Structure 1
């Protein structure tokens, strides 16, 4: 039997992460194993255990990287509410759609892999960064409302997050026009406008 070729990548951890990202993008979060990631990286099935405790540990690393990148994108899009909170808020929605389309493997690992954020403080903290930007945006948008009509910022942010996630799942993941002739962008923007109008933040 021929000897296994020596590993030449130089960074086994990164090679395994990249291999897993490719597998998740092709087959989903449940469609890869540590052994398959090792095979794709060109190493023995035992090699990944030098860096990861198991499959979920590798999946958590990918999700954390995704949350970190997502948070940076959301912070850049919000840009402290410039030039005004409504315009900046619209950029957040587009950023959410763009991230889901452009980084599908990260998005799946973050939101569809059934990882327990509560059991991983680092992952929870990473996930909260992007959400914190949405909370700040909700606070800025609802500031003109009287206090007795102002929704809690986290609830406001949760509503928008749920709307964004729903649009991604139903209208932004497949080919255009397969579920609706309306684009995902128009679907999300119209939903947000209806929500903001219901709060009395914008007029007709």
Structure 2
């Protein structure tokens, strides 16, 4: 698998492979030493697995964007990978163009998902939205606060648009703001919610809404 990925990536002019690892611990060491822009991470590896390695990279503040590339797309793996800090989640049967697009997108923080994974994420979002629909047949429960403590309504509105998949430009147009102001709100949301990318932010918004 690694040999095939190296051949694929090395064939793209603007991308260069700087290191390889056979387990999570080595991947962490390589990321520390080589400071790559992107790390392609498998889930199942000897010793420290890919999810734990991703989590440690984020906790250490290593700037590399992590793309999880695996044969396993169970709900637990997808959510745990994104919560751990992965920016994208691809299956190993992804087309070469998908992998290259994910690598290029990761540099700018743009998420990329294999079709089955994206379908699952959309389904979760729809189910979360439906769970907010009032039902007179069940006892009422205390409502979730519209905006988490410490976050302004304006900042939260930006977060909700991110959860809907809008770009910064689209959010700016919808809210009659400049893209610079949108980026400022996003930066504050990242800090206050302790997230590092748009995918994690979207998950936090959806979790708060359920």
Per the shorter chain, which TM-score range? Answer: under 0.3
> Which protein has the bigger helix share?
1
Query: Does 1 or 2 have the higher relative contact order (CA < 8 Å, sep 6+)?
Result: 1
Structure with a larger share of its residues in strand: 2
Q: TM-score, normalised by structure 1?
A: 0.27
**TM-score, structure 2 as length reference:** 0.27
